[in-house]
Structure 1
Amino acid sequence: MPMDSKDKRTEKNKHFVASLEFAIQGIKTVFKEEHNMRTHVVMGIVAVIIGFVFHLATWEWLWLLLAIFLVLVMEIINTVFENVVDMVTDFHFHPIGKKVKDMAAGAVLLTTGFAVVVGLLLFVPKIWQILQDFL
């Protein structure tokens, strides 16, 4: 008797290399399918370039990279929630599904707000100093 996709069973992967390949595929998928992820990556790259321009100290790099990676991770988690809700509801509206999606999006918004605050705290004083030196 042939199995359809609903009958397939999955086993926990016990091989590191295969697990790594699945994880990389997941990152590629979210990058390819989610415009917001691409935007977050571009903004993170811009922040890193600005960090090099301003010669950030080690502790400043730690805050900057923490903020960038938190946003990326939250975007991945948000995408997971969106996909699970769509799978469970078969793409039909459900009020609980909407709440789940809204809360996951809110988590991304809060994390992005945190990243903006970190960026402002790191870069505004440096920009202000350049302006004072120039004037």
Structure 2
Amino acid sequence: MPESNGLPESKRKVAFVRSLQHALRGVFFVLRTERNAQIEAVIALFAILLGIVLRISAVEWAVIFTLIGLVLGLEFANTALEAVVDLATSEYHPLAKIAKDSAAGAVLWVAGCSVVVGLFVFGPRLWRLLVVLVQR
């Protein structure tokens, strides 16, 4: 077998599995310890259930899963950035504040955009459902 990166295939497979294990530890750490990530995960599950109930289209599913991935992915990156900043200094520094606030702002921005998209995807269906229920 040809070698890649100087490692035989068997060692590359082991390295790949280890990297997946580290990544999953990171995901579970964030979901276990970060309140905002927990809230975002619950909202994501709610959006998925709502999509199933309302039978959204394949394109709408793609949009919903893309936004779920963006919000949670940014939350993971925000947590990592905060840890690195805290590792670099325990003292207040205005640049550390900018880094942390900007990363948190990125999560907030995408989460807000996700709410707007959710209103476009789910809103009309929920409105029709409400009208039917009220007319009964």
Please tell me the TM-score bracket, short chain as reference: 0.7 to 0.9
CA distance in 2, matches of 1:130, 1:26: 40
The answer as to 2:87 corresponding to 1:105 is: no
Aligned partner letter, 2:77: I
Q: 1:16 corresponds to which residue?
A: 16
Aligned residue pairs, count: 122
Residue by residue over 1:4-30, the C-alpha shift from the partner in whole angstroms, topping out at 9 and shown as x without a partner, is xxxxxxxxx951001111101111111
The list of structure 1 runs, each at least 4 consecutive aligned residues, that deviate by more than 2 angstroms after superposition, is: 131-135
Shift of 1:110: 0.6
CA distance in 2, matches of 1:22, 1:28: 10
Shift of 1:50: 0.6
CA RMSD of aligned residues (A): 1.4
Q: 2:5 corresponds to which residue?
A: none
Residue by residue over 1:30-84, the C-alpha shift from the partner in whole angstroms, topping out at 9 and shown as x without a partner, is 1122111111101100110011110111011111111111100010011111111
* 5+ residue gaps, structure 2: 1-10
Q: 1:57 corresponds to which residue?
A: 57
CA distance in 2, matches of 1:106, 1:132: 37
* 5+ residue gaps, structure 1: 1-12
Shift of 1:131: 2.7
Name the % identity: 39
SS at match of 1:60: helix
Aligned partner letter, 1:51: G
Tell me whether 14-23 or 95-104 shows the greater mean CA deviation. Answer: 14-23
CA distance in 2, matches of 1:50, 1:101: 33
CA distance in 2, matches of 1:33, 1:117: 27
